[in-house]
Structure 1
Amino acid sequence: MRHSVRRSVRHSVSRALLERFQHPAQVIVTAFAAAAAVGTGLLATPWAAESGVETRLIDALFTAVSAVCVTGLVTVDTASHWSAFGEVVIMVLIQAGGLGIMTLATLFAMMISGRIGLRARIWAQAETKAPQPSDLRRVIGNVVLFTLACEALVAIALAARFAVGYGEPPGRAAYLGLFHAISAFNNAGFGLWPDSLMRFSTDAWICLPIVAAVVVGGLGYPVIFELRRSWRRPKQWSVLTRITVTTTLILLVAGFAVFTITEWANPKTLGPMGVGAKLLAGFFTGAMPRTAGFNSLDIAAMHPTNWLATDVLMFIGGGSAGTAGGIKITTFAVLAYVLWAELRGETHVNAGHRRLAATVQRQALAITLLGLGLVTISTYALLALTPHGLDKVLFEVVSAVATVGLSTGITADLTSAGQLIITALMFAGRVGPTTLFSALALRDRTRRYELPEEKIIVG
């Protein structure tokens, strides 16, 4: 009798929780918040700090959110402040945030029970962007295997370089390789040196594997899997793959050209380097705003014009359904197609030989406006709370909301209120503005009638 009562109570509680969180967006937001809370608790313990003293709650919270939201902004130096236990916690949070909390939860459910419930399929589909709920088992398996394989390859390459080129012991070299491989593929930007990767700015054996991991992880899993199937047949690529690959290449070339040309003679960045080293450092710097967060040049010493260029690249971000942040390449491309169609006076928006749905256009516009709104309001608030100028504050805000992790060095100097604002921006940027705001909505509303059309003057 007692056991039946307990089962009845547990069933009632579980049913109540499921009814409370029926919208996939609510589940995703809750899952990321729970992971951040657990990470905060672990990082606040004395065992997580190198000194053996409890870390301030604000620093533990900031670091946990930055890790699970794969950003890379920090208020304390990762290598010197955190112990091995703390670094492992950060690494696990990065991996969980990159794969997606719901993806991991669904994977564990598959391993334990061998099946997935319909609601779990819908939740995980919202996180993985699987085409259909029925494809979820295959998609999750492919995502996990591909992620682990890429991270392993990059970890091996980095570990070999650390061991051979820098004399690190095998165990230490393997640990450094694994940590930075996970951080790079998940576009997190956490590093185990105070200067990020500036000491390796001229080492192609370190920089190029990092760039490769960042770019591949930021393409998005749907694009990666399609390229794996038909990379030799570009004419058969979907519109999503064509837009993502083309725009990625354009932005990589543009970033490389802008940073290399404008910083070429800067005595504090590229100036003292040789030609080959300048090209390598310029390419690395141009690729990192794909929301990675590593830097091989001193960001604070760059020309302010490049801060603005970095703001733009960070805000655009990487591919959809990947580890990158920002409004996404596809969102940016859709708005470009809308603009092009409007300039040409066309009634429909076309991408290649396909017509873009009106719902896609509205989603792109909504995501961009919400992102700009977050950036504007947060920049205004931080300007009121800190003595820093507009250029540095804007850089920090865009880096946070786009989950990039690049910084001009003012993060640790912000007040507690300012750091909480940055923390909220990182969280909102990871789950997505539309996901966050739809999760906060009390209920979905469907209008069962249409109002008369009215044309107004715009522009």
Structure 2
Amino acid sequence: MPDSVQAMASMEAPVGAWSRVAQALSHPIRVVVVAFLAAILAGTALLMTPLAAASGDETGIVTALFTATSAVCVTGLVLVDTGTYWSGFGQGVILLLIQIGGLGIMTLASVLAVMIGRRIGVRASLLSGAEARRGHGAGMSARDIVVGVVRTSLLFEAVLALVLILRFSLSYDEPPARAAYLGVFHAVSAFNNAGFALWADNLERFALDPVVSLVIAGAIICGGLGFPVLWELRREWRRPRDWSLHTRITMTATVAILVVSTVVITLAEWGNDATIGSFPTPGKLLAGFFHAVNTRTAGFNSVPIGDLRSESLLASDLFMFIGAGSAGTAGGIKVTTFVLMGYIMWAELRGERHVIASRRTVPADVQRQALTVAFFAVTAIIVSTWVLLATSAFSLDVVLFEVVSAFGTVGLSTGITASLPTHGQLLLTVLMFVGRLGPLTVGASLALRTRPRRFEYPEERTIVG
């Protein structure tokens, strides 16, 4: 072969490889997954450096990878104490990863697309809108979506940080610089539903402080509603009848689940002196409400989770599995998925051909997506729980709690995370990643891949039940 031909072949090979990579990444689902992986790997590398640890030593890859995944996936599970193990640089890396994970990697990808003047396709726009929590921003450009998301996030975080700074400074005599640092860190962690705290006991020292507890609880609720709901409430908050079906379901389910979970947790722990039993009645209600809010996928705790009664752990498992609003910072299968399954069951029990929700017919493909997401979540939790039970000495209730917390990107823990074997910690790492991206990518891929069939097979019924 002539030298010129060999040279051309050698040049075409890498070009062809890069083109295949570009084609693979052109699909929005792959972009989301790759972007999250890139952020996690970059965070892992930074946290492994001696600068990241307070001791000045290098951090092991498992601890760094676990922490970076927990931060990017806004979970909050930790293997080491955030406030004492990590240096200021390490804590800054964690805070940055939380912010990146909260805003959504697809949002940052949309920023890059706008900066280089590229128009993203309809499918990419829809997915970036979902990940950026602006799913109802039809007709908006990528730039409008990104600017709206960033502006709203920073506004919420700034207000929350200001309130916390004043509280830490005036009521706890923290120096101004320390109060500012604590306020900003916990405001970002709370709004993004991350649950990272800078105290070894998380927020147990503030269990009876209504300002800290309610401010952080409010931030968690707002971040968990999702930006489609926040933006619609801003425009239509006076006219609930004009709300979209998504907003109606999210708001109604959020209020209902918060009330039920608060009552269930408070009653279950009322006489438990290891948690809220010794608190005065207002303190019991406050701590019960705070825990109920955090089971919606934030990881803060104002009572020791390991001392909760078994019935409280089981109830928390259910609430963590459900999660909060779609297209928000929360995890779980989302309240819309849970409520839609309820509507599907109700329609089937009544023998109705169509699923009706708030005088709206739910399309069949949306029903299938809800069932698929729920089945995907149940399968992941059951398999992971079985693996940990088979390879560790912990009981079912604490293992199940840990697995659901990881998959739901909640971050609450009974205290067994650091005691799990290495493969168990790696399994939770994978579970956090799958729990953060799984429902999103499964739901989005199902919606994007919907296509009509040009023929139908004969029907045949099977026996059900």
Distance 1:200 1:170 in 2: 19
Q: Match of 1:151, SS?
A: helix
Answer yes or no: is the 8 Å Cα contact 2:70–2:432 preserved in 1.
yes
Aligned to 1:226: 232
Aligned to 2:40: 36
Kindly tell me the number of residue pairs found equivalent between the two proteins.
452
Call closer, same or farther: CA 1:283–1:148 in 2, change over 3 Å: same
Distance 2:116 2:269 in 1: 56
Q: CA deviation at 1:98?
A: 0.7
Q: Match of 1:71, SS?
A: coil
Q: CA deviation at 1:187?
A: 0.5
Answer yes or no: is the 8 Å Cα contact 2:68–2:94 preserved in 1.
yes
Deviations 1:97-127 (A, max 9, x none): 01101102222443x3465443864652453
Aligned to 1:407: 413
Q: CA deviation at 1:9?
A: 9.5
Match of 1:237 among 220, 233, 243: 243
Amino acid at match of 2:244: S
Asked if 1:185 corresponds to 2:198, the answer is: no
Aligned to 2:145: 139
Deviations 1:40-62 (A, max 9, x none): 00000000000000001100000
Asked if 1:344 corresponds to 2:337, the answer is: no
Distance 2:14 2:128 in 1: 24
Asked if 1:64 corresponds to 2:64, the answer is: no
Match of 1:306 among 283, 291, 312: 312
Aligned to 1:366: 372
Deviations 1:253-284 (A, max 9, x none): 01111111111111111111111111111111
Q: CA deviation at 1:239?
A: 0.7
Amino acid at match of 1:74: V
Aligned to 1:25: 29
1:325-340 alignment, distance < 5 Å: 325-340=331-346
Answer yes or no: is the 8 Å Cα contact 2:225–2:326 preserved in 1.
yes
Q: Decide which moves more: 12-21 or 408-417.
A: 12-21
> Normalized against structure 2, the TM-score is what?
0.92
Q: CA deviation at 1:241?
A: 0.5
Q: CA deviation at 1:36?
A: 0.3
Name the % identity: 53
Match of 2:135 among 101, 110, 130: 130
Distance 1:238 1:153 in 2: 28
Call closer, same or farther: CA 1:125–1:388 in 2, change over 3 Å: same
Q: CA deviation at 1:395?
A: 0.2
Q: CA deviation at 1:130?
A: 3.2
Unmatched 5+ residue regions in structure 2? 1-7
Distance 1:172 1:237 in 2: 42
Aligned to 1:100: 104
Deviations 1:417-438 (A, max 9, x none): 0001000000001112462699
Amino acid at match of 1:47: L
Deviations 1:319-344 (A, max 9, x none): 00000000000000000101111121
1:104-119 alignment, distance < 5 Å: 104-110=108-114, 112-113=115-116, 116-118=119-121
Distance 2:434 2:21 in 1: 23
Amino acid at match of 2:111: L
Asked if 1:273 corresponds to 2:279, the answer is: yes
Aligned to 1:387: 393
1:43-82 alignment, distance < 5 Å: 43-82=47-86
Call closer, same or farther: CA 1:304–1:405 in 2, change over 3 Å: same
Q: Decide which moves more: 122-131 or 304-313.
A: 122-131
Distance 1:226 1:10 in 2: 48
Answer yes or no: is the 8 Å Cα contact 2:373–2:442 preserved in 1.
no
Deviations 1:51-95 (A, max 9, x none): 000001100000000000000000111111100000000000000
Aligned to 2:266: 260
> Normalized against structure 1, the TM-score is what?
0.94
Unmatched 5+ residue regions in structure 1? none
**C-alpha RMSD of matched pairs (Å):** 2.3
Q: CA deviation at 1:216?
A: 0.3
Distance 1:97 1:434 in 2: 13
Aligned to 2:180: 174
